[in-house]
Amino acid sequence: MNIPQQVAALGQSLWLDNLSRSLIHDGTLARHIAEHAVTGVTSNPSIFQNALASSPYYAEDLARLKGAESNPERRYEALAIPDIQAACDLLDPVYEQSGGYDGYVSLEVAPRWANDAFKTVEEAQRLATAVKRRNLLVKVPGTPAGVQAFEALTALGINVNVTLLFSLAQTQAIFDAYIRGLTARIRAGIDIRRSRAVASLFLSRVDTLVDAQLDAIGTQEALAMRGKAAVAMARLAYQAYRDTFHGPAFAALAQQGATPQTLLWASTGVKNPAYRDLLYVEPLIGPETINTLPDKTLAALIDHGRPAVHVNEGTDEARAQFDDLARLGIDMEHVGLRLQKDGVDLFETAFGKLLQEAA
């Protein structure tokens, strides 16, 4: 087995954090699926904005749509949805072989609805209907309104990738919403065995912000803690996942055939060139997890990754690191709130540029 296949054998799904018509047309995505154990795809406004700007395969359709569709957002969707459908079709055998556990492609609700639960539910339903693929995950942000929308969508039977999670409290709120949504679905007498959701916990952005705060403190102790907060957070989140979905809170749902909401490690490309390029990959390999990898990070894993289960290690050390950060005045929940707001703003900006590309 090559390195990605070894990672998959350890129980972690590898998803590609990129999608464009070029990846589909030139066979790159198919090769990743066949050769590198890629079993899913994530997209977001930034990814599609880059795709429209760099791939030559949209020009003909865009020219046609400019004469047929006056709304730039609907024009963008007319370009993006066929890509989502094509990726879903490539991954459908994975979905089938895994019994619906894996093989998903994510498409995001427009970020301007991040603080509107009703509109998020409405838009998620519309997108799910438009894509019409059983292995679609609709991406919904983990904002307070997003938590409400996710619970409602779970009850409705729409599978969701909850994105823009940056803290333990945000992640636990999503776990709890999933349980409430499944419970409501059971009370309505509806089968939950095909319900699926993931919780995308963002990592590199956490270290970027925390490192800046540690640099500002400037003590030897503070500087020695740089580059450690995100992995510590992820390991604590994994323990919370184990406690939630392999504990009494989920036991009755599991007996009904429910699948736990899987943790997905997002933002796994390092932003500090001083850090190992697999900082957010190797320490977080383990069962019942997903890592969504940008192209560069996947290439690094293929080239020199060291597969071994590590995500369940160092939990006590991670708690101690969080205690040390708190003692230095760094509030990780406040970090999470700031990053979530910034994340929504960044996606809104990217979405605006995306609509300009489609104009």
- Looking at the chain, the number of H-run helices and the number of E-run strands are 16, 8
Annotated catalytic, 341? no
Q: How many residues does the chain have?
A: 359
CB distance 283 to 254 below 8 Å = no
Rounded (10°) CA dihedral 228, 233, 235, 239: 160
> What does the block give as tokens for 122?
């409405």
- Compute how many other C-beta atoms are within 10 angstroms of the C-beta atom of residue 8: 19
State the angle between helix axes of 332-358 and 204-217 in degrees (0 to 180), rounded to the nearest 10: 130
DSSP secondary structure, 296-315, as one string: HHHHHHHHH------TTS-H
What amino acid is encoded at 289 in this protein?
A: T
Considering 66, 119, 139, 228, which one is annotated as catalytic?
139
What amino acid is encoded at 54 in this protein?
A: S
What distance in Å separates the CA atoms of residue 325 and residue 335, rounded to the nearest whole number? 11
| Catalytic residue numbers, as ranges | 139
